[in-house]
Amino acid sequence: MITPLITPSGLIQALIWGVATGCIYILLATGLNLIFGVMKLVNFAHGQLLMVGAFVAYQITTTFGLNPYASIIVSMGIVAFIGILLEKFAFRKIRGTEKLNEIFISLGLIYVFQNVAALLWVENYNIRIPSPFSSLSFSFGEVALSYDRILAIVIVIVILVGLVLLTKKTKIGLAMRATSQKSDAAMLMGIDINRVYVFTFAVGAALAGAAGAIYGILFPFNPTIGALPTIKAFAIIILGGLGSIPGAVAGGLLYGIAENTTGYLSNGTWQDAVAFALLIAVLVIRPTGLFGEKGE
């Protein structure tokens, strides 16, 4: 094996790539966090929604020749619809039962999503969404920054601003915040909890869909890519604290950078294991997360 030289400019490159990768994780983590915050539910199949989003964007881009960045919106819509179905026909049925049931349902969903994607698209090789900007990049000395990564960062910022406006300025956002604080009281105040839950799940799924489309533009993917991002998003939530969007942003950036620099320094071998080690260390030392106030 050839060991690439570790250079300062290479390290800077890894840092910037880390920010772009972190952006994908931020979207995923924010969605997961939103669903957890409002519904007190963890969907372990959240990463599979990212995978579905990537395939949907791929299909739209290749079939209709749409710009991949426009396909992000379509992908968000379709994955949000899938999210609505999941909430209505799976997670709502087990609400109020044992917490382990969420894990079981998610596991079933993971099997279904991965294999349906394999049946419909590809089984065991990687594809990538063709981007018109794939050959273009800014360069600062030896550091090259592709247009795609910059666009990804910009899009994530736009989506996050939209999300903050949604939760802070709209009526449904108010209902979501009320439900997240105390669902019983919110129900007594005349809030239709079921509607809030469906809406929340759809928004969370849409974020995963957007993350998936961006993932598909930046990286090659296949039906099994969903599992690791779920856990990484989970790690980010734990790093950033439950239910906090700024926490998720900070955690996501930190995580993306840590992962990319570790991968760069160790030639990719320890990239995932170090991530888990970090997660376990944080959980063991501080089960409520680095910035979290209270956990489960």
Partner 1 sequence: MDFKAILASSAKSFLTRKFQFALAALAFVAVLPIFVRSEYIIGNVFTVMAIFALYASSWNLLAYSGQGSLGHAAFLGIGAFASALLAARLGVPPIIGLFVGSLLSAGIGLFVGLACVRLKAWFLAMVTFGFSIIIVTIIGQFDSIFGGMIGFPTVTFVPEGLPFYYGTLAIVALSILAIFLVMKSKWGLAFKAIRENELEAKMIGINTAKYRLLAFVISTFFAGLAGGLLVESQLFIQLDIFKVDNSFLPLIMAVIGGLGTLEGPIIGAIIIVSIESFMPLAYPYLQPLSPFFPGVSNVGPPLKFVGLGIFLILVVIFLPKGITSLISKLYDYLKEGETRKGDKIEGN
Under the criterion CB under 8 A, does residue 246 sit at the interface with partner 1?
no
Under the criterion CB under 8 A, does residue 99 sit at the interface with partner 1?
yes
Q: Which of 269, 259, 225 is nearest to 239 (CA)?
A: 259
| Residue type (1 letter), 3 | T
CB of 162 to partner 1, least distance (A): 28
Residues touching partner 1, count (CB under 8 A): 47
Per CB under 8 A, the segment of 99-107, 143-151, 172-180, 248-256 that binds partner 1 is: 99-107
Under the criterion CB under 8 A, does residue 111 sit at the interface with partner 1?
yes
Running DSSP on this structure, what letter comes out for residue 91? Answer: I
Under the criterion CB under 8 A, does residue 197 sit at the interface with partner 1?
no
Site for partner 1 in 200-229 (CB under 8 A): 227
Q: What are the Cα distances from residue 275, in Å, to 4, 65, 126, 245, 253? A: 22, 37, 23, 21, 13
Nearest-angstrom CA–CA distance, 39 and 22: 25
Residue pointed to by tokens 């840092």: 15
Of 149 and 232, nearer to partner 1 (C-beta) is: 232
Direct distance between the N- and C-terminal alpha carbons of the chain, in angstroms, rounded to an integer: 46
CB 23 within 8 A of CB 148: no
Among 6, 85, 136, 280, binds partner 1 (CB under 8 A): 280
Q: Which of 141, 142, 140, 164 is nearest to 150 (CA)?
A: 140
Of 44 and 69, nearer to partner 1 (C-beta) is: 44
Of 146 and 180, nearer to partner 1 (C-beta) is: 180
One character per residue 2-41, x = contact with partner 1 (rule: CB under 8 A) = ----------------------------------------
Under the criterion CB under 8 A, does residue 277 sit at the interface with partner 1?
yes
Helix or strand run (H / E) with residue 129:
none
Of 210 and 247, nearer to partner 1 (C-beta) is: 247
Q: What are the Cα distances from residue 26, in Å, to 23, 95, 233, 252, 276? A: 5, 27, 7, 5, 17
Nearest-angstrom CA–CA distance, 65 and 206: 22
CB of 58 to partner 1, least distance (A): 12
Under the criterion CB under 8 A, does residue 283 sit at the interface with partner 1?
yes
Q: Which residues would be at the binding site for partner 1 (CB under 8 A)?
A: 42, 44, 90, 93-94, 97, 99-105, 107-112, 114-123, 227, 231, 234-235, 238, 269-270, 272-273, 276-277, 279-280, 283-284, 287, 295-296
